Amino acid sequence: MLHRPAQPAGAGGVPPRHVAVIMDGNRRWAEQRGLPTAMGHRAGAEAVRRTIEAAISHGVPWLTLFAFSSENWSRPKEEVQELTGLLRHYLRAEVAQLDREGVRLRVIGERQRFGTDTLADIEAAEARTRGNVRLNLTVALSYGARSEIVAAARAAMRSGIAPEALDEASFARHLYTAGQPDPDLIIRTSGEQRLSNFLLWQAAYAELAFPPVLWPDFGPDHFAACLADFAARERRFGARAG
């Protein structure tokens, strides 16, 4: 659904309800240091841990991380294998810590493209953390916003809803993110200033931040700076300024 307040308002120092992050820069981080690409992805996994901790410490209840796009399947086979292997390791090694910290994990995207072992790890992690409420962590894997919208349109048609009865709310119920609030703030690291097919429907009223830091170097201070910038903005949601 599109989440809008009744009255236009600034953030007023209140932390965003939902922060989404496009984690960009792992390969460049490794290249700058003369390291294999795999080392950049491993360093990026450490930044994931820091960001989860930062979201919890700032009282942000929803965090979405863009970890693997549908376009990433076209990368070199060795890099894809490293990414999927790192994913499986993270799911197995970190799920206990996520559970202890009260983090609920959800995965969105075309998960059927992963192997059966990875699918089993995803489902086990989601099941183990399902009752947690401290932080709702969504990880986008094999995700592309355009394909999500097409899949939602197909699902809406299969549901039998009449075309004249289809509105934003009923359509959004068929998205991967059904039941979740839209992001208030989207952060993209590395200084690149584009959404790259990420949460295109859900980002309709999101504030955007583009810190010029590669993802493996992203830390609590960068997260806090993005929240401070968000708090200083006036969010009008299409309404005129007062």
* Predicted confidence (pLDDT) per residue in 99-116, tens digit: 999 999 999 999 988 889
pLDDT band at 240 (very low <50, low <70, confident <90, very high): low
Determine what percent of the chain is predicted with pLDDT higher than 70: 92
Q: Is residue 172 in some structural domain?
A: yes
Indicate whether 206 pLDDT > 70.
Answer: yes
| Residues 122 and 145: beta-carbon distance below 8 Å | no
Q: Is residue 7 in some structural domain?
A: no
Domain count, the chain: 1
Q: Is residue 8 in some structural domain?
A: no
pLDDT band at 235 (very low <50, low <70, confident <90, very high): confident
Indicate whether 141 pLDDT > 60.
Answer: yes
Q: Report in angstroms the alpha-carbon separations of 53 from 35, 97, 140, 231.
A: 27, 11, 19, 20
Q: Is residue 119 in some structural domain?
A: yes
Query: Is 190 part of any known ligand binding site?
Result: no
Alpha helices in the chain (DSSP H): 26-32, 37-57, 77-100, 116-129, 145-158, 168-172, 220-232
Average pLDDT over residues 83-94: 86
Query: Is 35 part of any known ligand binding site?
Result: no
Indicate whether 172 pLDDT > 50.
Answer: yes
Query: Is 158 part of any known ligand binding site?
Result: no
Q: Is residue 198 in some structural domain?
A: yes
Q: For residue 61, how far is the Cα from the chain centroid?
A: 13
Spot the catalytic one: 24, 121, 182, 184. 24
**Any bridge partners for residue 20, and if so which?**
64, 186
pLDDT band at 173 (very low <50, low <70, confident <90, very high): very high
Query: Is 73 part of any known ligand binding site?
Result: yes
Give catalytic status of residue 24 as yes or no: yes
In 3D, which of 176, 227, 219 has the Cα closest to residue 66? Answer: 176
Q: Say which residue the tokens 């809008």 belong to.
A: 4
Spot the catalytic one: 72, 99, 132, 197. 72
Query: Is 75 part of any known ligand binding site?
Result: yes
Give catalytic status of residue 221 as yes or no: no
Q: Is residue 6 in some structural domain?
A: no
- pLDDT, averaged across the chain: 90
Q: Is residue 138 in some structural domain?
A: yes
Range of the domain at 96: 15-232
Indicate whether 5 pLDDT > 70.
Answer: no
Q: For residue 188, how far is the Cα from the chain centroid?
A: 10
* Predicted confidence (pLDDT) per residue in 209-223, tens digit: 999 999 999 999 999
Task: List for the chain the helix, strand, coil content (%; round to 5).
Answer: 50, 15, 35
CATH number for 80: 3.40.1180.10
Q: Is residue 9 in some structural domain?
A: no
Determine what percent of the chain is predicted with pLDDT higher than 90: 76
Indicate whether 64 pLDDT > 70.
Answer: yes
Query: Is 25 part of any known ligand binding site?
Result: yes
Average pLDDT over residues 169-175: 97
Query: Is 88 part of any known ligand binding site?
Result: no
**Segment holding 65, helix H or strand E:** strand 62-69
